[in-house]
Structure 1
Amino acid sequence: MKSTFLLCSALSLALGAFCACSKNNLASGNREEGPGDKSVTAGTEQAGDISIALGANAWLTQSVAGSGETVTAAGPANWTNANAVFSAYFRTNTTGALQVSLRLKVPSGSSKIKVTVGGQSNTITATGSGYHTVAAGNFTLTDTGYIKVDLQGVSKTGGYFADVSDMIINGAATTGKVVFVPNNADVYWSRRGPSVHLGYTKPSADITYFYNEITVPQGQDPIGSYYMANGFGQGYFGIQVNSATERRVLFSIWSPFSTDDPNAIPDSMKIKLLKKGPGVVTGEFGNEGSGGQSYLVYNWQAGKTYKFLTQAYPDGQGNTIYTSWFYPPGATNWQLIASFKRPKTNTYLTGLHSFLESFNPEKGYIGRRANYGNQWVRDISGNWYELTTARFTGDATASNQARLDFAGGVSGSTFYLRNCGFFGQYVPISQSFTRPAGGQQPNINFNNLP
């Protein structure tokens, strides 16, 4: 997983093709051919049509065990089961009539496909082995925000229902601002969804400890979620949902050597493990920077509050030592996750932040939320400071407004972050929030930390 603070610039370049599209700015969103198909049947698109690539804007939202349906860069694929549902999303700020068409091909036979928008359904019959445009129905939108369009197979005479590359929309409901990912150039990031962050305002003193708490509300913990509590200039520490049966507490430190391949790091620049807690797995990571990683498989639960503590200090020999501890509800002692030595580094804790991300692109349509509370830091002289102000920011998917399903702010006594799920009211990024001060510093016996 990434620290989106450090990677934001790189991601902005990678995601530069994303935009929020309106009727007069659709050049990058229009597609004249089906992906990879040179013999496309001429379509029937009209002036004002908005073409939405399903490879970047659709998900398999109802799957069937043992069936092979999926979404590729070209759109829905292996569509054989009538119980499977693909859902495409776009956002509009106007209501009224909506015309929907599909650019598709049916390699053999004919297929009946049900198209549903806001509880209104229409069934179409499609044939033809070359990509062409088929009118899918006229609908009425009575509300603005994100609109979900469901595609479900009804019957077929061929091997599978269809290849659908694009959904084409028009009508009064599209005359305002329409938001979607306009091409398939960065399918992976758009399907993961926007990541959002809290950048805490810290005192000018040298900070050696960072304390934070996370509560994930019940029902807000889908697979592929990373709730990062303690982020800093060289690493991050938080909890994940890795699968239906596995959850982790994760602590990672980047190498000062810039590479996505951990095998390329010279020995003199490698992160060195100093110690780890019982049951903790350690190793290296890559793909989003490289470095040392540690994790504890731990079945943390939504609805409960977990505490996180991270320490950093220079060792006087050109290295910095980073250590993190975890405190679950009902515990009597802090649990050591790991302690790492980072070479060619001479710093205390800087760039303190938290973030929320979806790291599974197949789950990027499912929403998640977390509350981040009671942030404190301790300086090298033993003084505690409460952190009550945070800057709300987002990654390139959010800042380029390719997707607007993100939010952040203050909820009661805590900060909160929310992303994905295609909900209606988003909160603009690049603004600061202040939570109420609690005034009660953490009660930690540092001499007893493992």
Structure 2
Amino acid sequence: MTEIKIPFGWNSYQTCSAQKCSQPYISEQGVSYWQDTNIIISLFFYVAVAGVYDISLLSTEVQRQAELQVSIPSISYNYFAKFNTDSLNLSLGTIQVKNSGYIQVNFKGTNSLVNKKSGYYPQLNSLILSNSDNKSAIYYVKESFSSHFGRRGPSVHLTYNLESKYNIQQFFNEVNVPKYWDAIGTYAMAIGFDYGYFGMQVNSESERRILFSVWSPQQTDDPSQISKDNSVVLVSKGNNTVINAFGNEGSGGQSYLVYPWVAGVSYQFKLVGQPSTEGYSVFSAYFKDPTKSQDYIFIASWKRPKTQAYLSGLYSFLENFNPEKGNIQRKVYYNNQKAIDYKGKEVKVKSAYFTYDETASKQQRLDYDGGVDNTNGYYLRNCGFFNKTNVQYGDIFVKNK
């Protein structure tokens, strides 16, 4: 029999059942410093093979007597775990999993045995599954993988297949994030290309952005290291566009417009790119809100040195950039793509093929999906621990006109 240890630091999230509550600390060591009974800690893992599993909870610190309610909604499991100061490994009994899929285990402190002056609830380090014959039947984010990217969830992409890739000067895409699918941390990237990306983000409860970034030809994650001859230079910008440098995922020039875009509306994105005769290319981004105007809003134009290129490698992606929100589903539709070459001729977009990042390819997370809806266009979906779909890496999607 195999014992499987699922770390909270890689696989758990917190929610609050009240309007305000104190926040626990979720780190790679686990869940610490929580004493509010309104907090719910949820841990997720995927079971591929139905069966009976013994479960227990491992803690490295128990400051006081406490009681936790442990529940698994999908199998109507409820258990009250009583900790005392010498209970570092506590049996939670046996569960029977009848169907493959994601399991959510919730932990909530109760008022029983509570004395706030005597410390926090037990630190949550690992959930242990035992009495399993097949270790490979359980999927979760491993300690050998990045907790940051594991908790963010998988990123998913669509690469557009054009009937001609030659000298594409303009590309158009329409983006619709459905109502209730616009969680904080969402980046619905509309038009990516070999040298940058352009799309819309949910940055906080009160701020949303239209973001356009262009990478420097110098490979570095530190923008301060970019030499002058490799610097992406701003040509011009829209009236309210904010200009920054960016790093960590390559480096270059960043421009964004704070804009209150709304879920359920189809916004239009336009990207223009062309080479100069002086050894650089210029890339320009435009955004249209059809509920406000039929005119495009100019975001910015960037000059990329050591580049002689039109638009190439055209794609879209959906990601979550907030690791605290990886337990919330996201979805986006992409529709009405159009490409125009340097002679003004329209180039047909024939199909799109589906890919994903390492979080999915290394099977740390299985909550990803993509496809085509002939009414709303191509779609991408990720995060939220929905059950595994049949979509495969490299699947090709074709819209019926």
TM class by shorter chain equals over 0.9
2:91 aligned residue (135, 138, 152):
135
Shift of the alpha carbon at 1:437? 4.9
Distance 1:303 1:174 in 2: 43
Which segments of structure 1 move beyond 4 Å, counting only runs of 4 or more? 171-176
Q: Paired residue for 1:398, among 360, 366, 371?
A: 360
Give the secondary-structure state (helix, strand or coil) at the position aligned to 1:163: coil
Q: 1:330-377 CA distances to partner (integer Å, 9 max, x unpaired)?
A: 312111000000011111111110000000000011110001111111
Q: CA deviation at 1:176?
A: 6.5
Give the structure 2 partner of residue 121 of structure 1: 78
The answer to whether the 8 Å contact 1:248/1:298 transfers is yes
Match of 1:44 in 2: none
Q: Distance in 2 between matches of 1:260 and 1:425?
A: 34
Q: Compared with structure 1, are the counterparts of its residues 432 and 387 closer, same or farther at alpha carbon in structure 2 (3 Å cutoff)?
A: farther
In structure 2, what is the equivalent of residue 338 of structure 1?
300
Contact 1:94/1:173 (<8 A) preserved: no
Give SS of 2:221's match: coil
* Residues 380/289 of structure 1: CA separation in 2 closer, same or farther (3 Å cut): same
Separation of aligned partners in 2, 1:175 and 1:283 = 47
CA contact (8 A) 1:95 1:173 kept: no
Matches of 2:397 and 2:173 in 1, distance apart? 15
Alignment match, 1:433: 396
Alignment deviations for residues 301-343 of structure 1 (CA, whole Å, 9 cap, x no partner) = 1111001000110011000000010011231211100000001
> Which of 226, 231, 240 is equivalent to 1:279?
240
Q: Name the CA distance, whole Å, in 2 between partners of 1:390 and 1:306.
A: 20
Distance 1:78 1:137 in 2: 26
Cα distance in 2 between the residues matched to 1:159 and 1:200: 55
State whether structure 2 residue 157 is matched by structure 1 residue 197.
yes
Task: Measure, in 2, the Cα distance between the counterparts of 1:137 and 1:412.
Answer: 48
Range moving further from structure 2, 357-366 or 172-181: 172-181
What is the one-letter code of the residue matched to 1:422? F
Q: Quickly say closer, same or farther: Cα 1:49–1:345, change in 2 above 3 A.
A: same
In the superposition, the TM-score normalised over structure 2's length comes to 0.93
Q: What percent of counterpart residues are identical?
A: 38
Q: CA deviation at 1:93?
A: 2.0
SS at match of 1:164: coil
The question of 1:387 aligning with 2:349 is answered: yes
Shift of 1:186: 1.1
* Coordinate RMSD, CA, aligned: 1.8
Q: How does 1:408-427 map to 2 (within 5 A)?
A: 408-413=370-375, 414-427=377-390
Q: What is the 5 A alignment of 1:82-97?
A: 82-97=37-52
Of 409-418 and 91-100, deviating more is 91-100
C-alpha distance in 1 between matches for 2:120 and 2:27:
16
Contact 2:3 2:132 in 1 (8 A): no
Q: Give the direction of change, closer, same or farther, for the CA distance of 1:185–1:332 in structure 2 (3 Å limit).
A: closer
Q: Which consecutive unaligned segments of at least 5 residues does structure 1 have?
A: 1-46, 439-450
Structure 2 spans left out of the alignment, 5+ residues:
none
If the length of structure 1 is used for normalisation, what is the TM-score? 0.83
Correspondences of 1:162-311 after superposition (within 5 Å): 162-171=122-131, 177-183=137-143, 185-202=145-162, 203-311=164-272
Shift of 1:201: 1.0
Question: 1:217, 1:302 within 8 Å by CA — same for their partners in 2?
Answer: yes
The Cα shift of 1:389 comes to 0.9
Deviation at 1:133, TM superposition (A): 1.6
Amino acid corresponding to residue 88 of structure 2 in structure 1 = H
